[in-house]
Structure 1
């Protein structure tokens, strides 16, 4: 199972989150039948959303991370709960593109340019919606830019997905480090100096590094404390009741036509592909 560790520097200058997300990405690949570029694209968004989810303050909160770009992948989004369990969707899972000159999958090309949305649902409060421009489509750079623009938090973000020769996910993971108010200058300088260690973060996990070892590389020369570890997974919470609400949102005339022509209505969850079948009797109060 995938996992996240969380910690803070001993001087209170920064907090950090590290995720090993291979199982999450592989489950997403299987459910959405993604091509290699699609796997890397959806995988990075799932990984990033899981990290952001475990940064939520209250139990029961949720977060949606959505990329609306003009690239071949179309809309790519992921929804995380407050524990980092996540589900995702990619409009065009077959968005394969030629490799970049450096031999890497072209995630930036798949996402393209457009807008990045972060929606935080905090229960009874009004949902928070943050918007920023997609600066590269590489996901990690876009999240760094989002935090700087929308939340004014200096952030270092690294995300990576390594796709194997058979199309499966070989390794995946990420890390977020956020500088807190009144941070010590020497701590910030050390973190900036170590940033290059995270440039190939999927390779670190592929080489067998643990979340703790990745944190140690990123925070070399900085004293820190780990305060918890969270198991995370690809988790779809769809239900027949929730799908029924979606169908109930259709016009009465349209819903009646569906039942008259087909004898039943079907709804497919876009996050896991599960099909729910409804019969006319279940909607008689609406028709």
Structure 2
């Protein structure tokens, strides 16, 4: 498997951790959305986080949505993920171009801007769980660290990264999430904080040939890390012409009648995977007939 997530525990289950390599899904998104490097880095980070947070969910039908609404030129992002490693996402303005930041890196924070992060978990209850926090930096990892601490009251460290080649293809992408259980010993917390403060970036570790298992060994080896699960992850969209038909039915008869009156076929696009679906006037008439039965 190329893209995958590992789950682990350490320090006698006082620590739980996830690490992922996501180059393939990040490159796939770059291609289908024709993303600029900074948009690719931003969405790649959010999709990597979504993949690992999706792996935290238990139910086969559980669905996670990460939504950033902000004032930056990227115009926000949406990512959805499930417990089986399926992830998809899009940015509002995937072609955004910005000069490098003060450190000479891709200015993800500048592209994202100021705003909010919504974390929506649909676990089959009457209402989905919704957590909302203000963006701290727009760099994604710090924002999710803040989200876990404030909305879920879980002390966490999140690392995310996307490294681009000179030809603007994706060289490396991945991340980790390390979380402390409520009963974690103070000595373990102090030792972990010291370790994390000296760690290299995720992309530098991946670019040195390290696997997700190696990364967790590097970060948690002294605490007796134990890999408990390995799961494939991928960019996967479940859009279809049938789903688009349902969307057309939901827009109402009046709009459908207007489309039919125009006498031209229409095209609908999926935000997530950029697939195009065409509907002829005859198909629109059938959809209108279905709408009238409702």
Band of TM-score, shorter chain: over 0.9
The residue correspondences of 1:140-179 to structure 2 (distance < 5 A) are 140-179=141-180
Q: CA deviation at 1:190?
A: 2.2
Q: Distance in 2 between matches of 1:52 and 1:78?
A: 11
Partner of 2:243: 242
Superposition TM-score, scaled by structure 2 size: 0.94
Unaligned runs of 5+ in 2: none
Checking the alignment, whether the CA contact within 8 Å between 2:65 and 2:121 is kept in structure 1 is yes
Task: Identify if the C-alpha distance between structure 1 residues 262 and 205 changes in structure 2 by more than 3 Å, giving closer, same or farther.
Answer: farther
Partner of 1:280: 284
Q: Which moved more, 1:48-57 or 1:128-137?
A: 48-57
Q: Distance in 2 between matches of 1:282 and 1:229?
A: 46
Q: Distance in 1 between matches of 2:89 and 2:163?
A: 18
Partner of 2:13: 12
Q: Distance in 2 between matches of 1:135 and 1:113?
A: 8
State the SS of the aligned residue for 1:160: strand
Q: CA deviation at 1:203?
A: 1.4
Checking the alignment, whether the CA contact within 8 Å between 1:158 and 1:198 is kept in structure 2 is no
Task: Identify if the C-alpha distance between structure 1 residues 239 and 198 changes in structure 2 by more than 3 Å, giving closer, same or farther.
Answer: farther
Q: CA deviation at 1:286?
A: 1.7
Q: CA deviation at 1:49?
A: 0.8
Q: CA deviation at 1:29?
A: 0.3
Question: Is 1:222–2:226 an aligned residue pair?
Answer: no
Task: Identify if the C-alpha distance between structure 1 residues 231 and 197 changes in structure 2 by more than 3 Å, giving closer, same or farther.
Answer: farther
Q: Kindly provide the CA deviation profile for residues 103-159 of structure 1, in whole angstroms up to 9, marking residues without a partner as x.
A: 100000000010000000112442011100000000000000011111111010000
Q: Distance in 2 between matches of 1:100 and 1:199?
A: 19
Q: Distance in 2 between matches of 1:197 and 1:3?
A: 25
The residue correspondences of 1:113-262 to structure 2 (distance < 5 A) are 113-262=114-263
Q: CA deviation at 1:199?
A: 4.5
Q: Distance in 2 between matches of 1:126 and 1:90?
A: 26
Checking the alignment, whether the CA contact within 8 Å between 2:256 and 2:284 is kept in structure 1 is no
Checking the alignment, whether the CA contact within 8 Å between 1:10 and 1:225 is kept in structure 2 is no
State the SS of the aligned residue for 1:23: helix
Unaligned runs of 5+ in 1: none
Q: Distance in 2 between matches of 1:209 and 1:54?
A: 21
Q: Kindly provide the CA deviation profile for residues 67-109 of structure 1, in whole angstroms up to 9, marking residues without a partner as x.
A: 1111110011110011232000101011111101211000000
Checking the alignment, whether the CA contact within 8 Å between 1:27 and 1:234 is kept in structure 2 is yes
Checking the alignment, whether the CA contact within 8 Å between 2:11 and 2:188 is kept in structure 1 is no
| Count of residues paired in the alignment | 287
Task: Identify if the C-alpha distance between structure 1 residues 4 and 44 changes in structure 2 by more than 3 Å, giving closer, same or farther.
Answer: same
Q: Distance in 2 between matches of 1:111 and 1:130?
A: 19
Q: Distance in 2 between matches of 1:232 and 1:262?
A: 43
Question: Is 1:97–2:98 an aligned residue pair?
Answer: yes
Q: CA deviation at 1:264?
A: 3.0
Q: Distance in 2 between matches of 1:143 and 1:205?
A: 21
Q: Distance in 2 between matches of 1:149 and 1:140?
A: 14
